Structure 1
Amino acid sequence: MANRRPSSRRTLDAARLHELALAYVARFATSRAKLGRYLSRKIGESEWTDPRDAMAACAEIVAKMDQLGFVDDRQYAAMRGAAMTRRGLGARRIKAQLWVDGIDEADAGEAMESAAAAALGSALGFARRRRFGPFAAARADDPGLREKQVAAFVRAGHAPGLARRILAIAPGDADALAALDAEMGGD
């Protein structure tokens, strides 16, 4: 008889899955979808021993965490959107990330309105961080470099028109920055 090696996969049941969910929401701000993906991954990595269906148990636990207020997609969207805005990312990038995080449009609405309202400040923060336009050491006169900078703004979620307007401002021109701020509504 050949020696059989015991399974290296850990066993998992609904009670242990609930403990994993509690530990996860205690440690991380998360959405319902992200919690569901985490629990599904844990189920896939383990040997399910509970008589109930694994995915049904997963859905029940996510619903319970939502009911208890441990998971709040609207609050998560607001927090995530504000953090991304502070990092200089635009509304399109924020919308894409919230979609990846499983936030529906109804829950993302307030975060998206906030990101749209802070578009200029966020774009200027991006320009400052990357040392583009008015924050550069020298004016970028090369059209190829200018288009690469516009592309960087677009990848960060900003509108190309706004990027071109910021990049048109000469380095150190505080008056032009103030004029752009006044024209855009003064974030």
Structure 2
Amino acid sequence: MSDKRRNRVPFTPAALEQTALAYVARYATTQARLRSYLVRKLRERGWEGTDDRTEDRPEDRIEALVMRFAQAGYLDDEAWARMRSGALARRGFGAGRIGQALREAGIAEDLRADNRLDEPAQRQAALVLARRRRFGPFRGADLLPDRPQREKQVAAMVRAGHPLDIARRIVDARDPEEVEQWADSA
């Protein structure tokens, strides 16, 4: 590690704000992730307060920055949650996995509830995963999978956040058109 990284100067209020601005300019992020990033950076570099006579707590500065950035529109947890849940669903992840990702990103429960997949969207996301991984009727061969292979496919779909009944329905299906009609009928 170079001396430049080891001998970093402690944060001043202006340097903390510049670091926060650089982070939100580079990444689409949530309030919780920005807060976590700034706390980590503060731990790495330390804090050089502006005035020894006043209580200048860096945690208060971080919270004020996060609130100010949210009010200015630099951080929008609702838009981020909508974007992330849509991206995960398009990749074939189910409601459980999407909820977990939003929770890990610090999205509030009410926003997670607003971004839950409905039944048709859950079925479509499960179909995406089945096509991508060649599960169920998308396996390519006319042979049915043996029991261990079927159980592995169902387990993979459940780990991806899909309900057990949807996973079983898709893995047990024999005709791709039939399962696609089922997914569209919800």
TM-score, normalised by the number of residues in structure 2? 0.88
Among residues 50, 68, 75, which one is paired with 2:79 in the alignment?
A: 75
2:25 alignment counterpart: 26
Among residues 131, 136, 140, which one is paired with 2:139 in the alignment?
A: 136
**Does structure 2 retain, via aligned residues, the 8 Å contact 1:77–1:107?**
yes
Query: What is the aligned-residue RMSD (CA, Å)?
Result: 1.6
Amino acid at match of 2:134: R
Distance 1:63 1:133 in 2: 48
Amino acid at match of 1:164: R
Give the superposition deviation at 1:27. Answer: 1.1
1:16 alignment counterpart: 15
Matched, 1:65 2:64: no
Amino acid at match of 2:148: G
**Does structure 1 retain, via aligned residues, the 8 Å contact 2:136–2:172?**
yes
What SS does the aligned partner of 1:48 have?
coil
Give the superposition deviation at 1:21. Answer: 0.9
Distance 1:141 1:123 in 2: 18
1:159 alignment counterpart: 163
**Does structure 2 retain, via aligned residues, the 8 Å contact 1:88–1:122?**
yes
Matched, 1:180 2:179: no
Matched, 1:43 2:42: yes
**Does structure 2 retain, via aligned residues, the 8 Å contact 1:88–1:124?**
yes
Give ranges in structure 2 of 5+ residues lacking alignment: 1-5, 51-55
Distance 2:181 2:137 in 1: 13
Aligned residues: 175
| Percent sequence identity over aligned pairs | 41
Give the superposition deviation at 1:68. Answer: 0.6
Report matched runs for 1:64-143 at 5 Å: 64-112=68-116, 114=117, 116-138=119-141, 139-143=143-147
Give the superposition deviation at 1:81. Answer: 0.4
**Does structure 2 retain, via aligned residues, the 8 Å contact 1:154–1:160?**
yes
Give ranges in structure 1 of 5+ residues lacking alignment: 1-6
Distance 1:182 1:49 in 2: 59
1:147 alignment counterpart: 151
Distance 2:23 2:120 in 1: 32
Runs of 4+ aligned structure 1 residues displaced above 3 Å come to 114-117
Give the superposition deviation at 1:96. Answer: 0.7
Amino acid at match of 1:158: H
Amino acid at match of 1:37: S
Give the superposition deviation at 1:25. Answer: 0.9
